Amino acid sequence: MTRTVLITGGAGFIGSRLAADLAGAGDDVVLLDSLHPQVHASGWPALPAGITAIPFDVTVPTMWDAVLRSVHPDVVVHLAAETGTGQSLTEASRHTRVNVVGTSELLDGLHRAGVVPERFVLASSRAVYGEGDWATASGERFAADARDVHQLERAQWDPASPDGSVATPLAHAAATTHPRPSNVYAATKLAQEHVLHAWASAHGAPLSVLRLQNVYGPGQSLTNPYTGIVSLFGRLARDHRSIPVYEDGSITRDFVFVDDVVRALAAATRSDRAGTTTVDIGSGAPMTLLDLAGVIAEQAGAPAPQVTGQYRLGDVRAAFADVTAAGALLGYEPRFDPSRGVALLLDWMATQDAPTLRAA
Residue type, 208: S
What is the C-alpha separation between 122 and 31, in angstroms, rounded?
A: 15
Which residues does 170 contact at the CB level (< 8 Å), separation at least 6?
132, 133, 134, 135, 141, 177
Query: Is 80 exceeded by the pLDDT of residue 80?
Result: yes
Q: What are the extents of the domains in the chain? A: 4-349
The pLDDT of 295-321, averaged and rounded, is 96
Residues taking part in catalysis: 185
Is 113 within 8 Å of 65 (Cβ atoms)?
yes
Looking at per-residue pLDDT, the higher value among 191 and 93 belongs to 191
pLDDT tens for 155-188 read 999 999 999 999 999 999 999 999 999 889 999 9
Query: Cα-Cα-Cα-Cα dihedral of 48, 346, 326, 101, to 10°?
Result: -70
Which residues does 35 contact at the CB level (< 8 Å), separation at least 6?
11, 43, 44, 55
DSSP 98: I
pLDDT tens for 321-333 read 999 999 999 999 9
Query: Binning pLDDT at 50, 70 and 90, where does residue 91 land?
Result: confident
What is the C-alpha separation between 147 and 140, in angstroms, rounded?
A: 20
Is 326 within 8 Å of 264 (Cβ atoms)?
yes
What is the C-alpha separation between 181 and 133, in angstroms, rounded?
A: 12
pLDDT of residue 330: 98
Query: Binning pLDDT at 50, 70 and 90, where does residue 358 land?
Result: very low
Per DSSP, the three-state class of 243 is coil
Domain 4-349 coded CATH 3.50.30.30: no
Q: How far is CA 326 from CA 69, 246, 287, 320, in A?
A: 35, 31, 20, 14
DSSP 99: I
Closest CA to 262 of 135, 121, 163, 146: 121
The pLDDT of 87-94, averaged and rounded, is 78
The pLDDT of 281-303, averaged and rounded, is 96
Query: Binning pLDDT at 50, 70 and 90, where does residue 360 land?
Result: very low
| Range name among 65-74, 217-226, 317-326 with the lowest pLDDT average | 217-226
Closest CA to 7 of 265, 273, 282, 272: 265
The pLDDT of 283-300, averaged and rounded, is 96
E strand spans, the chain: 4-8, 28-33, 52-55, 75-78, 119-125, 133-135, 141-143, 168-169, 207-212, 214-216, 244-245, 252-253, 255-257, 276-281, 287-288, 306-307
Q: How far is CA 220 from the centre of its chain?
A: 12
Query: Is 70 exceeded by the pLDDT of residue 40?
Result: no
Average pLDDT in the chain: 93
